[in-house]
Structure 1
Amino acid sequence: MTLHVVLASHNAHKVAEFQRILARDVTGIIIEAFDGPEPVEDGASFDENALIKARAAAAHTGRVALADDSGISVDIMGGAPGIFSARWSGTREDAANRRLLLAQLADIDDPNRAARFHCAIAIVDPVSGTENVARGEWPGRVAHAESGENGFGYDSIFIPEGLSVSSAELAPEHKNEISHRARAFQAAVPLLQAL
């Protein structure tokens, strides 16, 4: 039996990334894009915002919904941008968000540029009322300049722990094996399979 799941995101990059991760890890589940209204993400955590989006998509479609909320947290900045990552510069423009973060860290040396990507994936089943959240974290540091053409968001300024290149320089297949989203999705797979 095939389970059709709606991904509560209008971000085409996220939809494609989820579909690639899913194709590698799971059979019998098809992820489809969501074309409904975007709810106000006014939660105080990645978990809360993911649940807000998944609940809205499940209510709109009547189907099992997935939603992720993710972002980058920089240790020396007290965990910022955190849940505000997508609009850190006051816009939803990835390039503007990266430029602002790099400017804020301009005088900070490598030992103090530790950061991590966070991902919370909420799964909401409107029929049973079941709600779950799976989490993933990807440690690394913020680079001094952008590099790489792959990825989106902060990928071109994030150097994963143990690597010397940005996540935007990784092949998509490699990133999909080790990223915060891949780690959260691995934790979400048993929850999806139980549906």
Structure 2
Amino acid sequence: MSPPAPHRLVLGTGNVHKVPEIAAVLAPDWEVVSHDLDVEETGATFEVNALLKARAVRDATGEVAVADDSGIEIDALDGRPGIHSARWTDEQDWIPRVLRELDGVPAARRTCRYVCAAAVARPDGTEAVVRGEVEGRIASEPRGTGGFGYDPIIEPLEGDGRTFGEMTVAEKQALSHRTRAFRALRALL
């Protein structure tokens, strides 16, 4: 007898890097298909923005929808860029801007956290949102070519001193804020 077919859910994202990362966490019970929908992130928190996106995808598709909002909070910058991580400057300037703004800040004060809020919105109107975090430190220069976004400058405190950009996919997923959030969400699906 073959195993039961996975349930289908729609992931609201236009970020091609997120799809395999999230699909790996939700497999084998859930088949993840992506749906790119432009949703204005007007919320004041990661959680509100994740719910806005999940609701919009659910409303557009009529299916179980999940979405996330994630970013980096840098303590020496009073939590910036936070919910604006993807929009505070052009993507190619994300890392250079962080390094410029932290120029002269000692390593002990370069603490940060990657945050991911993951939300589900079901056709029956029920919803849930969870949060995953990983504490880290901003490296003095980019290291590694793996991952995406800020990964080449984030050294997770639970790691071995390498940045996420220097890790294999499996090593990154073992520590990832997104993996943590979607594991918690999976328990609620």
Q: Normalising by the residue count of structure 2, what TM-score does the alignment of the two structures yield?
A: 0.94
- Residue correspondence of structure 1 range 32-43 to structure 2 within 5 A: 32-35=33-36, 37-43=37-43
The counterpart of 1:7, out of the listed 11, 15, 32, is 11
The counterpart of 2:146, out of the listed 130, 150, 161, is 150
Secondary structure of the 2:142 match is: coil
Shift of the alpha carbon at 1:22? Answer: 2.7
Q: Which runs of 4+ in 1 moved over 6 A?
A: none
| 2:51 alignment counterpart | 51
| 1:120 alignment counterpart | 117
Q: Between Structure 1 and Structure 2, which shows a larger proportion of helix residues?
A: 1
User: RMSD value over aligned CA atoms?
Assistant: 1.1
Unmatched runs of 5 consecutive residues or more in structure 1? none
Q: Which amino acid aligns with 2:110?
A: R
| 1:30 alignment counterpart | 31
Shift of the alpha carbon at 1:132? Answer: 0.3
Question: What is the rounded CA distance, in whole Å, between the counterparts of 1:171 and 1:133 in structure 2?
Answer: 28
- Residue correspondence of structure 1 range 40-79 to structure 2 within 5 A: 40-79=40-79
Question: What is the rounded CA distance, in whole Å, between the counterparts of 2:135 and 2:29 in structure 1?
Answer: 31
Shift of the alpha carbon at 1:178? Answer: 1.4
Identity over the aligned pairs, expressed in percent?
A: 42
Shift of the alpha carbon at 1:62? Answer: 0.4
Secondary structure of the 1:73 match is: strand
Question: What is the rounded CA distance, in whole Å, between the counterparts of 2:138 and 2:54 in structure 1?
Answer: 30
Question: What is the rounded CA distance, in whole Å, between the counterparts of 1:177 and 1:141 in structure 2?
Answer: 17
Question: What is the rounded CA distance, in whole Å, between the counterparts of 2:56 and 2:38 in structure 1?
Answer: 8
Asked if 1:179 corresponds to 2:176, the answer is yes
Shift of the alpha carbon at 1:160? Answer: 0.3
Shift of the alpha carbon at 1:21? Answer: 2.6
Unmatched runs of 5 consecutive residues or more in structure 2? none
The total of aligned residue pairs comes to 184
Contact 2:26 2:183 in 1 (8 A): no
